[in-house]
Amino acid sequence: MALAVTAIARAALPYRVADSRVALMSIVLTDFALTRLFPREPRRNTIQDCTPEQFVAHLNTQPPLKVLPGYAPFCQLHVHRNWTSTRCLTVPITTDNRAQLRSGYEARNAHELPVLVRWFEGVQSPVAMYLLPILYSRAQLAKEGTPINAEWGVVGCLYTAEPEELPMAPITMLRNALGVEEGGSGVPLDRQAYRRSVAFWDCNANWRP
């Protein structure tokens, strides 16, 4: 994913997580994450009751419940108990709500090609129990053209009912395999992980107000 670092990076504070094996860290918010998690026009399916500055400060001062390995060595997820009113990212697809699914071709930014996505309209998920910021290492962000002045940069966040990662969307896995030029990370496709992703997203979808 082509990312840029926000000015919020300058406000990063170091902290030590609960896992003693994790060294002193600092975290910043990338512009890619800023526009998706904190859009200029607030939406009910993004982070609530929290400014970008407050979000970054929380990540840098409050130890996560646990740290999950990401899909590659340069990626990890920090599990925080939800301190906001942010709602779960996904909703299970049922016979009662299937008719409310919508689809369309969309690009995440002006530099990427549109891909087919789907979402619920007129459906609202419950308040999430956990927030899981997705972090990329400084070295990986530099490889993707986004140098940062911290050890880790937030590139996204999951809002979940359980303290576990949601499977990466199939299109995101394919984009990553295409490489940095197409907005991905350059990580080759894992066919087993892809099948697990399809199994989840075949039965779940994001929602929009």
Judgement on whether residues 47 and 115 belong to the same structural domain of the protein? no
Q: Tell me how many domains the chain contains.
A: 2
Question: Can you give the pLDDT at residue 23?
Answer: 43
CA–CA distance, 24 with 13 (Å, rounded to integer)? 10
* Residue 42 one-letter amino acid: P
This prediction's pTM = 0.85
Judgement on whether residues 113 and 12 belong to the same structural domain of the protein? no
Of residues 13 and 93, the one with the higher pLDDT is 93
Q: What is the mean pLDDT of the chain?
A: 90
Tell me what the mean pLDDT of segment 24-45 comes to.
91
Q: Is the pLDDT of residue 196 over 60?
A: yes
Distances (CA, A) of 175 to 89, 112, 181: 21, 10, 10
Q: Which residue has tokens 């919508």? A: 102
Tell me what the mean pLDDT of segment 82-111 comes to.
96
Q: Which tokens hold the place of 208?
A: 């929009």
**Residue 180: exposed, middle, or buried by beta-carbon count in 10 A (0-12, 13-18, 19+)?**
middle
Question: Can you give the pLDDT at residue 109?
Answer: 87
Tell me what the mean pLDDT of segment 165-187 comes to.
95
7: left (phi over 0), alpha (psi -120 to 50) or beta: alpha
Question: Can you give the pLDDT at residue 11?
Answer: 42
Judgement on whether residues 105 and 195 belong to the same structural domain of the protein? yes
- CA–centroid distance for 56 within its chain: 14
Closest CA to 68 of 77, 60, 57, 59: 77
**Domain span holding position 140:** 1-88+127-165
